[in-house]
Chains A and B, each alone.
Chain A
């Protein structure tokens, strides 16, 4: 079950990133015809991000302590010291922006240029931050893997 949670966390993160990218492209081409679609997709972003938040948070609080000890004893201690320490707080940036997105995307983006700019900025920030966080997750995973390989070869 813990493995399912561990994999569901980045999966929902990626789905949140893809949804934000979808909203970004729709906002670039905002018109009356895609107004409803923008609003619906803007609701999916916080849904996926909150699921990533809850699942990742649960795993981090209850299971990560063991992995942390393994990583710190391995050849890549910076996987925790730098990447996890940054990731666990950086995650709040796209998470908060995702919660905000449906509020600003409720406007008619075809008419309101200010709201359209805000949607473009918020979704771009979610995508960029999300990709950085996904990359950090890969480094943390590799740090644990290298530590376990090293431990087995000793």
Chain B
């Protein structure tokens, strides 16, 4: 579908949409990065508030932080590959907003959790 702007320029809507879509890999791992950031905050809060989880994570690799590092990497890679297989493509502007919200909620949540609890 095309339309003519006030300046007389012919604009192809399909082309505009195409030029804001991310590649399947950028979509999959962008979503995965946002989810991993939120997962990281959740895991940090859970292990701090529930000692059995902390002990299990510490015994798994010798240190809770190493387990948290590996868990984050596994979530990021596995979820990214799973989403990549679907071939999903999302608008970059919207996904960027989701990533930004995840980073603010994840980072701010960590800081609040540490200060308040």
Contacts and interface: CB of A to CB of B under 8 A. Distances in A.
B2 interface: no
A19 interface: no
Contact of B66 (A57, A92, A117): A57
Mostly, the B contact residues are helix
B69 A57 contact: yes
A90 B63 contact: no
Given A89-B110, A106-B23, A82 B92 contact: no
A118 B65 contact: no
Task: Bin the interface of chain A by size.
Answer: 35 or more
Interface in A94-138: 96-97, 99-100, 103-104, 106-107, 111-118, 120-122, 125, 129, 132
B76 interface: yes
Nearest to B100: A121
Contact of A104 (B26, B93, B97): B26
Contact of A93 (B19, B26, B106): B106
Interface in B92-117: 92-93, 95-97, 99-100, 103, 106-107, 110-111, 114-115
A125 B69 contact: no
Nearest to B62: A61
A93 B37 contact: yes
